Amino acid sequence: MTMHTHTLGTTGPQVSALGLGCMGMSALYGDADRAESIATIHAALEAGVTLLDTGDFYGMGHNELLIGEALRTAPAARREQALVSVKFGALRDPDGGWSGYDGRPAAVKTFAAYSLQRLGVDHIDVYRIARLDPAVPIEETVGAISELIEKGYVRHVGLSEVGADTIRRAAATAPVSDLQIEYSLISRGIEDEILPTTRELGIGVTAYGVLSRGLISGHFTGDRKLAANDFRAMSPRFQGENLQHNLNLVEALRKIAEQKGASVAQIAIAWVLSRGAQHGNDIVPLVGARTRERLAESLGALDVTLEAADLAAIEDAVPAGAAAGERYPAAQMAHVER
């Protein structure tokens, strides 16, 4: 496995070809094993992964504390290479409920102060609001991040799940390193307008849900019991007939994977990488591995080369729009700009 690095957008940091998304280590996919989570972060850093993604609301600070511990206990050379990307702004309640987003400048600075403390770092590498706050112009939210950059607390502005108009307004306010957004074989909504916009403006993409939260990993089975605190128990794509339809797509993908001597997850990750290959490798998948075993599998995607014939076969097996069910329940879909 060779770990290449790419610049995130024209103004962002140099990052590894794959990033590690740490969300599932603290929230949303049922319980995780803390020691294994830290071992996974260490193994990722050891393999040359430099980008760690989190959100202050993943387990209400749990994920940042976890990353902080992993960084503190990593060898100094690895710790110094690590870049932390943080999302803020989600309002939560003690029951785990979601109550909107706060992008007011004073709130941005407060969120940042707490994140720096939990992570145990003196700066955040990329800072972004998780969803647009409809009550606050994006210029004000980005302006507050710019002030944090001037003071040295943040290095780069990022965006998350926003549409072309917001991307343009943000980029007119400050240089934007990357847009974090869902992108996979079965979530291709960014291709028509959003991706051309990021490319025009020199903004990179950090893609999440590359395995559609495990659905197209090749490991998910129709009889898997999901805990009540698992997002997938409410996700339209994981329900009843939708689930069966989507798992049938995975079986079509499995045939291609077998011919390539790769796993289904590796094919799905390699496909996302291939979408940026002609554009200066502007798409960096954030893999959501939370065990060393899954991490090793994900990293193996970097050794998979998809030729034109492979890409055509994949497109045939899983054409754009093939998935059944939206990627979020309706209430959460309302917060993503399309």
Ligand X SMILES: NC(=O)c1ccc[n+]([C@@H]2O[C@H](COP(=O)([O-])OP(=O)(O)OC[C@H]3O[C@@H](n4cnc5c(N)ncnc54)[C@H](OP(=O)(O)O)[C@@H]3O)[C@@H](O)[C@H]2O)c1
Chain residues in the site for ligand X (CB under 6 A): 21-24, 29, 53, 87, 130, 160-161, 180, 208-214, 217, 219, 265, 286-290, 294, 297-298
Q: Which is nearer to ligand X, 150 or 223 (CB)?
A: 223
Q: Which is nearer to ligand X, 91 or 312 (CB)?
A: 91
Q: Which is nearer to ligand X, 6 or 87 (CB)?
A: 87
Query: For residues 69 and 110, is the Cβ–Cβ distance under 8 A?
Result: no
Q: Which is nearer to ligand X, 229 or 312 (CB)?
A: 229
Nearest to 155 by CA among 278, 276, 8, 5: 8
Angle between helix axes 240-260 and 264-277 (nearest 10 degrees) is 80
Minimum distance from CB of 208 to ligand X (Å)? 3
User: What's phi and psi for 124, nearest 5 deg?
Assistant: -105, 135
Q: Is 58 a catalytic residue?
A: yes
Length of the chain: 338
The tokens for 41 are 């972060």
Regarding beta strands 90-92 and 51-55, do their DSSP bridges make them parallel or antiparallel, or are they unpaired? Answer: unpaired
What SS3 class is residue 153?
coil
Which H helix or E strand runs over 127?
strand 124-129
Minimum distance from CB of 308 to ligand X (Å)? 25
Minimum distance from CB of 288 to ligand X (Å)? 2
CA–CA distances in Å: residue 93 to residues 60, 110, 221, 283, 334: 9, 17, 32, 33, 19
Q: Which is nearer to ligand X, 79 or 219 (CB)?
A: 219
The span from the CA of 293 to the CA of 5, in Å, is 23
Minimum distance from CB of 32 to ligand X (Å)? 8
Minimum distance from CB of 87 to ligand X (Å)? 6
Q: Which is nearer to ligand X, 166 or 212 (CB)?
A: 212
Q: Which is nearer to ligand X, 173 or 263 (CB)?
A: 263
CB atoms under 10 Å from CB of 11, counted, come to 17
* Secondary-structure percent of the chain, ordered helix, strand, coil, rounded to 5: 45, 20, 40
Query: For residues 283 and 272, is the Cβ–Cβ distance under 8 A?
Result: yes
The tokens for 59 are 């387990």
Q: How many CA atoms lie within 13 A of 242 on its CB side?
A: 15
The span from the CA of 195 to the CA of 198, in Å, is 5
> Of residues 58, 101, 208, 328, which has the active-site annotation?
58
Minimum distance from CB of 115 to ligand X (Å)? 14
Minimum distance from CB of 51 to ligand X (Å)? 10
Catalytic amino acids?
Answer: 58
